[in-house]
Amino acid sequence: VRLVNKPYTLEQLYDTCSAEQRTIMRQARRCRMCEKPFCAPVDKLDVRGIMRRVAVGNFFGALKRWQQQPVAENKLTEFEANCILGIEGEEPVAIREVLSYLIGLTTELSDGVNI
């Protein structure tokens, strides 16, 4: 737990993160956190829950969610293609990139790297 001064600004969210973590967090923040996700049925993968955790830097909570419902790479591609942002003509949330980062954390943890 870290104590912060009010008002809490968006930049304070990233001030203790590496550049790579900031990039991943910003990508996750683009998610609309749809009540009824277009990208993936909640019973297949809780994309909204994972993105919500990553957006605020809770990488381990997001990783735990991912490990409860891992899916194949081809499904992630499908989920990304179904992102509401992409349907509306914007760049879809990079679901595969965010999850790839989380999976990389598993490797770093098994190698004994302190994150």
What does the domain layout of the chain look like in residue ranges? 18-110
Q: How confident is the model at residue 44 (pLDDT cuts 50, 70, 90)?
A: confident
In the CATH hierarchy, which top-level class contains the domain 18-110?
mainly alpha
Q: Express as a percent the part of the chain with pLDDT over 90.
A: 59
Whole-angstrom distance, CA of residue 102 vs CA of residue 50: 10
Q: What is the pLDDT of residues 45-98, one digit of tens each?
A: 899 999 999 999 999 999 999 999 898 888 999 999 999 999 999 999 999 999
Whole-angstrom distance, CA of residue 91 vs CA of residue 3: 35
Whole-angstrom distance, CA of residue 19 vs CA of residue 60: 18
Give me Rg for the CA atoms of the chain.
15
Q: Answer for the pair 36, 6: CB distance below 8 angstroms, yes or no.
A: no
Dihedral (C-alpha) 7, 13, 16, 22: value to the nearest 10 degrees?
A: -150
Query: Is the pLDDT at 20 greater than 60, yes or no?
Result: yes
